Structure 1
Amino acid sequence: MIQDSETFAGTFPFPPHFTDAPGFRMHYVDEGPAGGEVVLCLHGEPTWGYLFRDLIPALSATHRVVVPDHMGFGKSETPGERTYWLQDHIDNLERFVLALDLTDITLVMHDFGGPVGMGLAARHPDRIARVVTTNGPTPFGQPNLLDRITANAGSAPWFRWIAEAHAGGSLEPILERLGYNILSTLKLNGFENNAIITDPWLAAYAAPFATPADCLGAIGWAKGFATEAHRFETPDASAERSIRSKPALAIWGEADRTLQAEHFLPLFTAIFPAASIERLPGVGHYCLEDAPAAVAQLIADFLRRT
């Protein structure tokens, strides 16, 4: 786990906040006016709140930007007795949001932050004001969800590796050393701008995974796909009607090899047929790394016009 005060050479200068509401010590960033509308940023695998370091100052002048680290990631605790399936992360986020009494939430979701955020939306649609996906799936009870996941997994290098490594017994031994192979893991998932690789950047993404015991979150997310242990939240009819009425925006790096647009953008348009879709050519899976200024501008413009 990262030290509370670590800023990685000033690249992550935000004061740390913590809550035990989800049953473990959960870290979060909380920047901007306390009474402002909330922008809740949800990271994926194997990142943490550092992914949003450029978005936080871009939005916090006008909005309260809240960025939690999921259990087992970033500066949050990695309890050894917990499970790390999707439903666990949804439970944790729900407890976090209720403890902080967050309302008027604009979800900004990347990677598995998508299904975690949509799980929250299914349970508490009244707390959601807007939905933004940044290369993150938006499962919401669509009948063809598993077909799309299966089709994507057949061609995505990351998911093909998960299946092969699990079958061969190497999934956990490799991911237990994630602190050492973080660059190859991030590159396999996909970013295109190699200029972002600096010593502080590499340290920021490696630091949460210093020991095998620190890697349970990353192992759980991958293993959950291999064993089909993850359970996607299904909204009831009222929640589905409510969320469908919200303003929404999709931002998608078209060079994403992990979550390919052809498989996942239809999930978004099935819920939000009139929403804007912004495709970013030459931008990979980690669009917030490849094109942080463009992503921040698109989200800021969306917040203003809605």
Structure 2
Amino acid sequence: MIQSDATFDGTFPFTPHFSAAPGFRMHYVDEGPRHGEVVLCLHGEPTWGYLFRHLVPALSATHRVVVPDHMGFGKSATPAQRSYWLQDHVDNLEALVHALDLTNITLVMHDFGGPVGMGFATRHPDRIRRIISANGPTPFGQSDLFERITANARVSPWFQWIAKAEANGELEPVLGQLGFNILSTLKLNGFENNAIITDAWLSAYGAPFARPADCLGAIGWAKGFATGVHTFATPDPVADRLIRSRPALAIWGEADRTLHAEHFLPLFSAIFPAAPVRRLAGVGHYCFEDAPEEIGNLIAEFIRQT
């Protein structure tokens, strides 16, 4: 876990907040007016709220921007006695949202933040105002979800490595040293702009994983895919109808080698057939690193229009 006041040379200057509601010390950023509409940003693997460091100031003048770190990531605790499956992260998010009483939420989801956000939306569709997927899958009870995940895994270096490493016993030892191999892990998943790599950037992404005991979140997400224990929720008819009625936007870096557009954008369009899809050429999996200004403008304009 990172020190609560760490700013990484001023690149993450936000006041830290913590909640014990999920049963562990969960960190979140909470910037902007408390009366403003809520923008809830959900990160993926193996990132944390640092991923959204450019988006927060772009929106917080007019919106309440809340950015939690999932259990085992960023400044949140990594309890040894907990499991780290998808359904656990959805439970944790639910507890935090209830503790903060967040409503009128615009979800901004990246990577496995997509399944976490959509899992929460199946339970609380009345709290959701908009859905924004940025290189983040949007599973919502689709019958072809397993086939799309399987097809993507056949062409994704990250998912190929997960399957191989779990089979030969290397997954936990390798990801248990994530603080030392964070750059290769991030690069395997994919960003195109190498100019972002600075000492502060490397420290920000490596510091949460200083010891094997700090890596349970990253291990759990990967292992859950390799062993099939993640549970993707299916909405009931009321939730299905409400979420499909919400304004939605997909933003997808086309150079993503981990979550390929051809496999995951159809999941989004199946729920939101009239929703705009913005495909960004030359932008990789970590789209908020490759094109932060462009994506910030797209999100801000979408919120204004809807």
Q: Identify the TM-score tier after normalising by the shorter chain.
A: over 0.9
State the Cα distance separating 1:268 from its structure 2 match: 0.1
Q: Describe the SS at the equivalent of 2:108.
A: strand
- The CA deviation at 1:274 is 0.3
CA distance in 2, matches of 1:85, 1:56: 27
Match of 1:222 in 2: 222
Letter of the structure 2 residue corresponding to residue 104 of structure 1: N
For 2:254 and 2:111, locate their aligned partners in 1 and report how far apart those are by CA, in whole Å: 14
**Partner Cα distance (1:135, 1:108) in 2:** 10
Q: Which amino acid in the other structure matches residue 163 of structure 1?
A: A
Aligned to 1:202: 202
Q: Tell me the distance in 2 between the aligned counterparts of 1:36 and 1:171.
A: 43
2:174 is the counterpart of 1:183: no
Equivalent residue number for residue 139 of structure 2: 139
Displacement of 1:159 after TM fit?
0.1
2:165 matched residue in structure 1: 165
SS of match in other structure, 1:148: helix
Aligned length: 306
Mapped pair 1:40 → 2:49: no
AA aligned to 1:257 is R
The percent of aligned pairs where both chains have the same amino acid is: 77
> What amino acid maps onto 1:94 in structure 2?
E
* Residue matched to 1:84: 84
How far the C-alpha of 1:84 sits from its partner, in A, is 0.1
Residue correspondence of structure 1 range 1-306 to structure 2 within 5 A = 1-306=1-306
SS at match of 1:163: helix
Structure 1 unaligned regions, length at least 5: none
SS in 2 for 1:44: coil
String of CA shifts for 1:48-87, please: whole Å, max 9, x gaps: 0000000000000110000000000000000000000000
**What is the CA distance between 1:261 and its match in structure 2?**
0.1
Task: Give 1:115 shift.
Answer: 0.3
Where 1:39 maps in the other structure, the secondary structure is: strand
How far apart, in 2, do the equivalents of 1:242 and 1:33 lie?
A: 27
> Match of 2:289, SS?
helix
Question: Residues of 2 paired with 1:218 and 1:233: CA distance?
Answer: 21
Residue 100 of structure 1 deviates from its aligned partner by 0.5
> 3-state SS of the aligned residue for 1:180?
helix
How far apart are the structure 1 equivalents of 2:35 and 2:263?
Answer: 38
Q: Using the alignment, how far apart are the partners of 2:177 and 2:239 within structure 1?
A: 41
SS at match of 2:27: strand
5+ residue gaps in structure 2? none
* Runs of 4+ deviating beyond 3 Å: none
Structure 2 SS opposite 1:67: strand
- Paired letter, 1:183: L
Q: Deviations over 1:210-234 (max 9, x none)?
A: 0000000000000000000100011
**1:155-181 C-alpha deviation (Å, 9 max, x unpaired):** 100000000011111000000000000
Residue 229 of structure 1 aligns with an amino acid whose one-letter code is: V
Please give the alpha-carbon distance, in whole angstroms, between the structure 1 residues aligned to 2:151 and 2:221. 19
Question: 2 CA distance for matches of 1:123 and 1:297?
Answer: 30
Question: Shift of residue 143 of structure 1?
Answer: 0.3
